[in-house]
A and B are shown apart, each in its own frame.
Chain A
Amino acid sequence: DTGVSQNPRHKITKRGQNVTFRCDPISEHNRLYWYRQTLGQGPEFLTYFQNEAQLEKSRLLSDRFSAERPKGSFSTLEIQRTEQGDSAMYLCASSVTSGSTEQFFGPGTRLTVL
């Protein structure tokens, strides 16, 4: 399977714990995006990378959130001191840099904070 993959698919954690999600993009894609989707809503942009550089962060990304893409391939999204409001689906997508704006989405990681 050469699509975008995300791990884990589901994560249940207690409030105050730290969690980390991983996204593996399509191998030739330079851009990697993170989105958050709450129930009944469309996805919301969190951040994106061009290769290893984090080019933009949404104001939704509080200081408890950090994303990395150290080698320009896979990316991690860490949430520290989780809160119940962090419960959501976290989606990753990747795309080529130029020309097309088409993004390919992973299956998402569903986070539940108890």
Chain B
Amino acid sequence: KNEVEQSPQNLTAQEGEFITINCSYSVGISALHWLQQHPGGGIVSLFMLSSGKKKHGRLIATINIQEKHSSLHITASHPRDSAVYICAVYPDKLIFGTGTRLQVFP
């Protein structure tokens, strides 16, 4: 079993829909990261959180340390949000999930 599990693996949505991507992990962590990877490979850090909730524009990330679960929400999705979203946890080094491929259609 992977230490970091993401769901769903693939997600398609119509522009404007509310998106939720889930991440569950099995190890003790000091922080959890949500990353965005566009075609071509470049990875951008979206959030780093260790408790509660963070918001940046249309993106919201939450974490429940007791349940070892985090969610990434995208409100009013747009085709430019199409990317792979990766959850990564930090016990002593980054351990990555396999990613959720999101496609938003106009």
Contact = CB atoms under 8 A, between A and B. Distances in A.
Interface residues of A, number: 24
Contacts of B98: 40-42
Contacts, number: 57
A103 B33 CA distance: 9
Main secondary structure of the interface of A (DSSP, over half): strand
Contact of B90 (A42, A48, A56, A101): A101
Contacts of A33: 93-94
Main secondary structure of the interface of B (DSSP, over half): strand
Given A42-B86, A104-B45, 8 more contacts: A41-B98, A42-B88, A45-B94, A48-B93, A91-B43, A102-B48, A105-B43, A106-B42
Interface of B: 4, 30-31, 33, 35, 40-45, 48, 86, 88, 90, 93-99
Interface of A: 33, 35, 37, 40-45, 48, 56, 89, 91, 93, 100-108, 110
